[in-house]
A and B are shown apart, each in its own frame.
Chain A
Amino acid sequence: MTYAYLFKYIIIGDTGVGKSCLLLQFTDKRFQPVHDLTIGVEFGARMVNIDGKQIKLQIWDTAGQESFRSITRSYYRGAAGALLVYDITRRETFNHLTSWLEDARQHSSSNMVIMLIGNKSDLESRRDVKREEGEAFAREHGLIFMETSAKTACNVEEAFINTAKEIYRKIQQGLFDVHNEANGIKIGPQQCISTSVGPSASQRNSRDVGSNSGCC
């Protein structure tokens, strides 16, 4: 299938926060409660439509374990978007965000769009990290923020698509050099750059910090 752009995403965060489940929910629309630990990279892909353009999301799901951290770092290169995930029921996964963010900033393009995700929002009774804390962290570090549930699919679509919208907005604003592969954006095989990059910069549909679709 043809596409206007391909965006490379990377999903990062501590082990067990639900990175692979988020990917599975987004690509296959299903939830698998028991999931093998990820080693190396697992791939997922899906087409989305942003502003009338077909965009292919190539998603790299990485290992969250500390032991694989050095391997994971090598996959940041060329990512246009990152989903930085923590588990709202495990405070330590939130505490480690700074470290993940440092890695992401250090090993990727400065323009990379980062979506902070507080996952497992269905487990409200076991909540250990307040929503406001996630929002504050995102605001402080210039991230987009959403709480999601890979189990109920709440906000999963929005998290991936809003990240794509933000990347697309940056392309329109000329912040991303789409010819530089290091930015994690590739022009589709049949696209002409002059027609792919629309002139309008008023298409911003992505939600800002703290927004959600209301289901969580």
Chain B
Amino acid sequence: MSSIPQRKKKTVKVTRSYPTFPTLNAWEEFRGLLPVDGEPNPGVGLGVEEGLLCQMVHSPEFNLFPDSVVFESNFVQVKKDRKWINIYKASNTMALGVTSSVPCLPLPNILLMASVKWHQGQSQTWNRPSTAPHIILKRILPLKLVELQICDHLQRILRLRTVTEKIYYLRLHPDHPGTVFRFWIRLVQILQNGLSITTKDPRILVTHCLVPKNSYSPSGDSKLVQKKLQASQPSESLMQLMAKGESEALSQIFADLHQHNQFSSRSSKKTDTKKDSSEKDTPGEDCIPCTRDLSWRDSLTYGEWERENPSGPQPLSLLSTLAASTRPQLTPLIGNSI
């Protein structure tokens, strides 16, 4: 045992196969476009593919979703006072990524969240840091139980809301180029509207998200998305029919959630809390306290649709789609069109 040399920490060689999808690079070539800056894979060059989060979940320690690509970025958790302010010190960031439990799915179905602690004064370059930061996988969420929205274009802030009303505001790390935020914008669009190839039936609202909409409208962006969605709303009866099964499941979740909230408020009154010591002790994992307004439960009257087990031939990967629709340099800002 002692004869084996010390291995550098967190350097994991990732070797993966892409059984059904071309890589970003292949897709670019298919489109007759040159790779960015001579990088063999522009996704890697931009720090959205094969980053630290991907390396961690594919490492022997986790060995999760080994055949699926991970689209990821580095974020800073913020909250809004008069302006956006960082919650934690600069050395603590959050890695956010999406992937698929199996690579043949048309849409990603898994959200990954990890806390990252950088060394003092270390450049937080995402894909190739000089020294690996301390990264801890915090949670894996089914994407259908999460709602992603573009909260602030200029500040490059995402709003992440879970079905249990946990809300995070995440600012894309300044080290990422603007193209990366456009990828996230495209991802939000895909998760909300689906891909053109997901269904050809305009009456079917393709959405991957089971988190019902609420009245939140972040700086106008999602308002426009909502409008667009409403314009293509299918007939209510069809939607209700489709939604029935999932509505029942969700109703149960909400009933549990309601019960849990009641129980929590009871117990918080009864128990002697150690809240002082527990609050915000762990950087990167806590969310902004949010109101527990569950009124949106009542708004669950429209359908939801997801295709986790498609039977037909599978389309290009999400990442290819992202690249295709947000080609760096060539594609104009799509933010305004959301």
Write the residues of chain A forming the contact surface with B, with a CB cutoff of 8 angstroms.
6, 15-16, 28, 30-37, 39-43, 45, 58, 65-68, 71, 74, 151, 181, 186, 189-192, 195-196
Contacts and interface: CB of A to CB of B under 8 A. Distances in A.
A192 B282 contact: no
The SS class assigned to the B binding surface is mixed
A6 B256 CA distance: 34
A4 B43 CA distance: 35
30 contacts: A28-B281, A30-B281, A31-B274, A32-B278, A33-B267, A33-B271, A34-B265, A34-B268, A36-B164, A39-B142, A39-B145, A40-B111, A40-B139, A41-B139, A41-B140, A42-B138, A42-B139, A43-B136, A43-B138, A43-B140, A58-B61, A65-B252, A65-B256, A66-B252, A67-B252, A71-B142, A189-B60, A190-B1, A190-B4, A192-B4
Q: Which 5 residue pairs spanning A and B have beta carbons closest together?
A: A40-B141, A67-B253, A33-B271, A67-B252, A195-B1
Nearest to A32: B278
B6 interface: yes
B250 interface: yes
Contacts, number: 87
B18 interface: no
Contact of B260 (A37, A43, A189, A191): A37
B264 A34 contact: yes
Contacts of A36: 164, 166
The SS class assigned to the A binding surface is loop
Given A32-B275, A34-B268, A34-B273, 5 more contacts: A28-B281, A30-B274, A40-B141, A65-B252, A195-B1
A43 B163 CA distance: 19
B7 interface: yes
A186 B61 contact: yes
A65 B288 CA distance: 24
A36 B282 CA distance: 15
Contacts of B260: 15-16, 37
